[in-house]
A and B are shown apart, each in its own frame.
Chain A
Amino acid sequence: VNEYSFIFAEILRARDENKEKTIKEMAVQMIVDHGFDGLSMQKLAKKAGVSPATIYIYFKDKEELIETIAIEEINKMTQVSLKGFSPKMSFEEGLRVQWKNRINYWLEFTLSAKFTEQAKNSPIGEKIKEKVKIEFANIMREFVQNAVAKGDLKPMKAEIYWSLAFAPLYQLIRFHMYGMGLRGEKFELTDEIFEETFNNVLKSLKP
């Protein structure tokens, strides 16, 4: 034992899953608050209550840490989005489930949602594209194809479909999370507002 022994950590020591979980949660928080550049492994160690060496047992570098978290978070988002959903549902029912699930994801897993949005728009997003389950994209494609085949949905470019079907929802979520409308008044995404917007969106998508 010498003066540096405190920085040692034995890999063979049982990997503590709780420790790893805390490290990941704190990293998500730091990234949401300060961006990818604002995450330093040393600061992260302090926040997570572990030594820097401990973080480096689980992750070889910052890139691997962020990649691991991003893959897990995107898979979690997929899981929440597909809850109670089937591509065989009628277009109206399926889109409604999608809207509800996406609202739930943003409200229940706000930090995750913010992190995922940041990760998707970064070089990490490009890198992990192939590693992330493509299940979600395939299921959504099947849903759209079924809807078009049944005559419930106008055929259109994927980007136009997404912009009409989901962009209004995300804008409402943004207003809701901000708690404020366009003129600074209190805003809440109520069932009425949900229904009115949803029905207008549906109208724009139906043949």
Chain B
Amino acid sequence: MSTHILVFKTNITSDKDRNILSELMQNIKDIIKWNLDVWDIDNVLRIESDNDCSDSIIQHVKQAGYSCIPLED
């Protein structure tokens, strides 16, 4: 088993938004660790997970009304 790093560009900036995100992240079981890069212009959501749970993350974050786009090469 290997750990993946998943990164997404988001529009999550305020403390309130971050709290909402925090709750969302608790509901996705594959996530080992997550953090939001609050200094970066892209408000990058960084996730360590056991497997590819990108679809699930994007779905959850989008459902909460935020944008969540994989950071491409």
Contacts and interface: CB of A to CB of B under 8 A. Distances in A.
B13 interface: no
A21 interface: no
Contacts of B35: 60-61
Given A11-B5, A52-B7, A53-B6, A6 B73 contact: yes
A52 B71 contact: yes
Contact of B4 (A10, A51, A63, A66): A10
B64 interface: no
Nearest to A63: B39
B8 to A, nearest CB: 9
Contacts of B73: 6-7, 45, 51-52
A40 B2 contact: no
B44 to A, nearest CB: 6
Contacts of A52: 7, 44, 71-73
Interface string A1-15: 010111111111000
Interface of B: 2-7, 9, 35-42, 44, 46, 48, 52, 54-55, 70-73
Interface of A: 2, 4-12, 40-42, 45, 51-53, 56-57, 60-63, 66
15 contacts: A4-B52, A4-B70, A7-B54, A9-B4, A10-B3, A40-B40, A45-B73, A52-B72, A57-B5, A60-B46, A61-B38, A61-B46, A62-B37, A62-B40, A63-B37
